[in-house]
Amino acid sequence: MGRSPCCCHDAGVKKGPWTEEEDRALVEHIQRHGGHVGSWRNLPKAAGLNRCGKSCRLRWTNYLRPDIKRGNFTDDEESLIIRLHAQLGNKWSTIATHLDGRTDNEIKNYWNTHIRKKLLRMGVDPVTHQRLPPDDIAIASVPGAAILSAAASLGGLNTALIQVQALQLLLQAVNGGGGNAAAAAAAGLIPSINAAAADNAILNANRRSIVPSFQDQMNLILSHANYASPDHLSNIASFAEQHDVVVQRLNNASSAAPVVGGAYAEPLAAALASAATYPPQEVAASADRPVQGFAELLSEPIGMPSMCSLEDDEDAFWKNMLLESSSLPL
């Protein structure tokens, strides 16, 4: 109901950084009242502070509260913030309720100063969580070494995002959308993919997960690349459906030995080379195609999925990828 007159506009009310004495007065006042503030508007006078009630509330909730956790954000916290932001947008206070001891202000600052820039470096729009258009990031023209370097610079960012990025680039190349340049760019990601796969293997080794592993997703993509044309792939490139296929495969062959990191380089390079020189070689017998039916089910080709969109249940691949990495409930 409109804006209220605020004591902050009163002449003589102090603004700016808080002194130790002011902090002490505020904390002691709140402690004297058993941690209950009552009316923020009346608090400054009662506590002997020449501050506006609003300023006192902010100081308490963002800095002086005893349950506040200081220090750097962990990788898990960072991953959770990204996931929650994809789901909630700039609802910092809601996001803060999922992170013990972190304030909305702190999370907002961390997003704007760290995460946002990391996502942009990865070619991900921090607002929509979708990949930026190729014109914006010119990914196909970036040498493989530069992509690898960029991936390495991600530092603490959870490996799940590297995996997501790698898979998207790979699919783009395998689908033939980027031609030779895209294939070459994706090939440059092989070392990053291997590193991410190794990380993922470590993650999965510590728990029995029914979520498709990164290796399984890679194997599925490779299997597509080896027998299917780009046109065919464009029809079956729904991650939600790939997810179903992978789950089915896992159920059918749960004892299969996992593929470890370094094993990808050779078959992946071959697959990319094949995709880049479409039309491809001999197409395998249709009976061997696990996703043969999808092309018939879909009336129109499906484009690349939205990156990290957690609101869309059809994008179970992204959701599971991130859930797996954070192992935290929604």
Partner DNA sequence: AAAAAGTCCAACCGCAGACAC
Partner DNA sequence: AGTGTCTGCGGTTGGACTTTT
Find the shortest distance in angstroms from Cβ 163 to DNA: 24
> Residue 15 interacts with DNA (CB under 7 A)?
yes
Find the shortest distance in angstroms from Cβ 15 to DNA: 4
> Residue 87 interacts with DNA (CB under 7 A)?
no
Which range, of 4-12, 75-83, 118-126, 171-179, touches DNA by CB under 7 A? 4-12
Nearer to DNA, 19 or 248 (CB): 19
Q: Which residues pair with 124 in a beta bridge?
A: 131
Which range, of 6-14, 156-164, 173-181, 249-257, touches DNA by CB under 7 A? 6-14
Q: How far is CA 169 from CA 12, 208, 314, in A?
A: 59, 28, 20
Nearer to DNA, 68 or 302 (CB): 68
Helix H, strand E, coil C: the string for the chain is: CCCCCCHHHCCCCCCCCCCHHHHHHHHHHHHHCCCCCCCCCCHHHHHCCCCCHHHHHHHHHHHHCCCCCCCCCCHHHHHHHHHHHHHHCCCHHHHHCCCCCCCHHHHHHHHHHHHHHHHHHCCECCCCCCECCHHHHCHHHCCHHHHHHHHHCCCCCCHHHHHHHHHHHHHHHHCCCCHHHHHHHHHCCHHHHHHHHHHHHHHHHCCCCCCCCHHHHHHHHHHHHHHCCHHHHHHHCCHHHHHHHHHHHHHHCCCCCCCCHHHHHHHHHHHHHHHHCCCCCCCCCHHHCCCHHHHHHCCCCCCCCCCCCCCCCCCHHHHHHHHHHHCCCC
Find the shortest distance in angstroms from Cβ 17 to DNA: 4
**Sole binder of DNA in the list 77, 78, 104, 241 (CB under 7 A):** 104
> Residue 18 interacts with DNA (CB under 7 A)?
yes
**Sole binder of DNA in the list 77, 78, 106, 324 (CB under 7 A):** 106
Nearer to DNA, 13 or 295 (CB): 13
Which range, of 1-9, 183-191, 247-255, 314-322, touches DNA by CB under 7 A? 1-9
Site string for DNA, 111-150 (x = CB under 7 A): -xxx--x---------------------------------
**Sole binder of DNA in the list 92, 214, 294, 317 (CB under 7 A):** 92
> For residues 40 and 56, is the Cβ–Cβ distance under 8 A?
yes
Which range, of 5-13, 154-162, 252-260, 317-325, touches DNA by CB under 7 A? 5-13
Nearer to DNA, 8 or 138 (CB): 8
Site string for DNA, 29-68 (x = CB under 7 A): --------xxxxx-----------xxx-xxx--xx-----
Residues that bind DNA (CB under 7 A): 1-6, 8, 14-18, 37-41, 53-55, 57-59, 62-63, 90-94, 104-106, 108-110, 112-114, 117
